[in-house]
Amino acid sequence: MSIFLDALRGITGQAAAVPAMRALILTFALVGCVAWIRRRPFLSVSCLWLGGLVGLGFRLLPIVSPLGLGTDPEVSRSWAQAGVNALAEPSGEGFVWGTMSAGSFLATLASAGIPLDLVHVAPQFFVLLGLTVLALLPFGHFQNRTTGAFAAALTLSGGGWPGALPYGAMLRWPFSIVIIIGLFGLGKIERIRPIFHRHRLHSASLAIGASSLAQAFSGDGESSFLAALFLGVAGLCLASPTRALLRRTLASAWAARRVEALTLLCVFAGGGVFWWDPARTIPGYDEATDANEALLRPMAWIRENVPRKSVIVASPEYSAAVAALGGRRVLLPPATTEPNPPLPEPFRRARLFDSARQGRPIARLAEAFSATHLFLGPGEQNPADGEEPAPTGELRLHLALVYQDAKDFRIFQFVKK
């Protein structure tokens, strides 16, 4: 399986693969349109869904590292908490020693016992699941299956407005899948459906207004999740009137089907995954396509050799990575331009960090913080060797080098002489 995925990644990494991928998506879309004209609405939606799967898969497959780790402070904290929830003890506490757990969907998944490697691919998986749910969701809203299929084709393509695609936002905010599934459930409630149908034009207007406001406030190169969601709702509201209108306006049902098919083609190719380029729109995407093997090696060592209750002293640059990939708590929060949550005992932490970097960690503080190891990355200076700090009467520990690799990652264990 791994070899197969690597081979696919090799293909998607080639420049010529992008037009080939688009040609394939367009082929699916064209087949879907022909199926629609030939009164095969389910086949049509299936083709568009497959086209979407190809387009999304093409962009999601190259992601081999947690998306946003090290590039987005909020997401980094979420990944760090997930790593600690999955592998460290005691569970339920923050990834920085002594802090509260930062609640996030990914962290919750990790707490639920899902293996960390699977949690790392959860956003990609949820995006593909989201595509599937969006293709199914409208069928729950419409009694007429063909209208349901029409709405499904519109919804999975972004609702009919160019650029209103939810998948980028879903990749950055995996919890959105819960909202979509919730919407799917709402569609099943018999009491809601008549209200929805009776006021569909007002609902559509409100949804469009809400979407526009959501996009206005969020900005960004990707459509915000709420903006895309509201436009999807508007698309659901307008699907049935649009079909009814086409039936009344055009000379025959066959002509109406052709116009519907053309609409689906334009919507899918304009608002769908056809043009989606997360490398340009999602910060951290390029970084996530790098497996960063050099960093993974010391992290794997930490997972295997550092006790689960241990705290690792690492500089703020490596804190999130140690927690997210190594699965151990850290002493200091990640470096960020945004304010971190309040940190208890900041001065004692700073003293322990400084003393560890000087090669003589203060024993009392190391024990208080459960700190057992010092992690150093490339470019970070080795602790001073053998130099005695000014006598303070405090018991000091020593550092023993337990891991070092060619990339200059080093791990020291705190030991008594």
Partner 1 sequence: MTSLLGLDLTTMNVTPFLAATRAAFVVLTFLAAAMLSRRQNDRRAGRVVLGIAIAGHLLAWFATMAPLPNVYGANGSQDRENHLGWANVVAEGFSPLYTFQVNHLHFEPLWPLLTAAASGFDVDRVPIVFQWAPLVVGILLALSIRFVWGHGVEDREGRDSEAAFASLGALLLMAAPGDFTGPFRNPWALTFLLKPNHALGLVLAPLAALALARARSWKSRLVAGFVLQLVGWAFVIHMALFVAGVVVFVGLSWVTKRTDRKKDLIDSSTAVGANLLLVSPYLFMLFTAYPFLQASQAIRISPLSERPFEAPLRMGALLLVSGLGAWRAYQNGGRLGRILASQWLGAQIAWQLFPLLGLIGQAREQDEFFYWCRFWMGLFAGAGVFTLVRDTLGRLRAGPSQPPSERAGAAAAISLVVLLPSLLPVWWDPLVMDQYFVAAQKPLPAWIEGPTRFIRIQTPREAVFAGDRSYARWIAAYGARRVLTASSLNSPNDNPRRAEVAAALLSNGPRARMLEGRDRYSIQYVLATSDSVDRAKDMALDELATRPYLDRVYDQEFERRRVVIFKIRYEAIP
CB of 223 to partner 1, least distance (A): 7
CB of 27 to partner 1, least distance (A): 13
Which helix (H) or strand (E) covers residue 129, if one does?
helix 122-136
Q: Report if residue 231 touches partner 1, rule: CB under 8 A.
A: yes
Strands 398-404 and 410-415: antiparallel
SS3 per residue for 185-241: HHCCCCCHHHHHHHCHHHHHHHHHHHHHHHHHHHCCCCCCHHHHHHHHHHHHHHHHH
- 362 forms beta bridges with 396
Q: Report if residue 198 touches partner 1, rule: CB under 8 A.
A: no
Residues 22-41 interacting with partner 1 (rule: CB under 8 A): 22-23, 26
Size of the site for partner 1 (CB under 8 A): 42
Q: Report if residue 197 touches partner 1, rule: CB under 8 A.
A: no
Residues 80-139 interacting with partner 1 (rule: CB under 8 A): none
At residue 313, the 3 state secondary structure works out as strand
Binding-site member from 70, 160, 174, 359 for partner 1 (CB under 8 A): 160
Q: Report if residue 255 touches partner 1, rule: CB under 8 A.
A: no
Identify the CA nearest to 97 among candidates 334, 331, 336, 375: 331
Residue with Cβ nearer partner 1 (242 or 355): 242
CB of 167 to partner 1, least distance (A): 12
Read off the tokens for 259. 């116009």
Q: Report if residue 291 touches partner 1, rule: CB under 8 A.
A: no
Binding-site member from 211, 310, 315, 355 for partner 1 (CB under 8 A): 211
- Which residues does 9 contact at the CB level (< 8 Å), separation at least 6? 61, 62, 64
Residue with Cβ nearer partner 1 (250 or 363): 250
Q: Report if residue 208 touches partner 1, rule: CB under 8 A.
A: yes
Q: Report if residue 164 touches partner 1, rule: CB under 8 A.
A: yes
Q: Please give the Cα distance from 394 to 352 (Å, whole number).
A: 12
Binding-site member from 71, 101, 132, 212 for partner 1 (CB under 8 A): 212
Binding-site member from 223, 310, 315, 319 for partner 1 (CB under 8 A): 223
Identify the CA nearest to 184 among candidates 234, 135, 125, 127: 135
Q: Are 88 and 82 in contact (CB under 8 A)?
A: no
At residue 256, the 3 state secondary structure works out as helix
Residue with Cβ nearer partner 1 (106 or 208): 208
Q: Report if residue 339 touches partner 1, rule: CB under 8 A.
A: no
Residue with Cβ nearer partner 1 (109 or 208): 208
Q: Report if residue 60 touches partner 1, rule: CB under 8 A.
A: no
Read off the tokens for 266. 């334009």
Q: Please give the Cα distance from 81 to 96 (Å, whole number).
A: 9
Residue with Cβ nearer partner 1 (27 or 108): 27
Q: Please give the Cα distance from 260 to 266 (Å, whole number).
A: 10
Binding-site member from 89, 144, 217, 309 for partner 1 (CB under 8 A): 217
Stretch of 4-12, 112-120, 215-223, 315-323 lying at the interface with partner 1 (CB under 8 A): 215-223
Q: Report if residue 277 touches partner 1, rule: CB under 8 A.
A: yes
Binding-site member from 245, 253, 350, 401 for partner 1 (CB under 8 A): 245
User: What single letter denotes the amino acid at residue 109?
Assistant: L
How many beta carbons lie within 10 A of that of residue 229, not counting itself?
25
Binding-site member from 147, 176, 263, 355 for partner 1 (CB under 8 A): 263
Dihedral in degrees, nearest 10, Cα atoms 379, 383, 384, 390? 130
Residues that bind partner 1 (CB under 8 A): 19, 22-23, 26, 158, 160-164, 205, 208-209, 211-213, 215-221, 223, 227, 231, 245, 248-249, 262-263, 266-267, 269-271, 274-277, 280-281
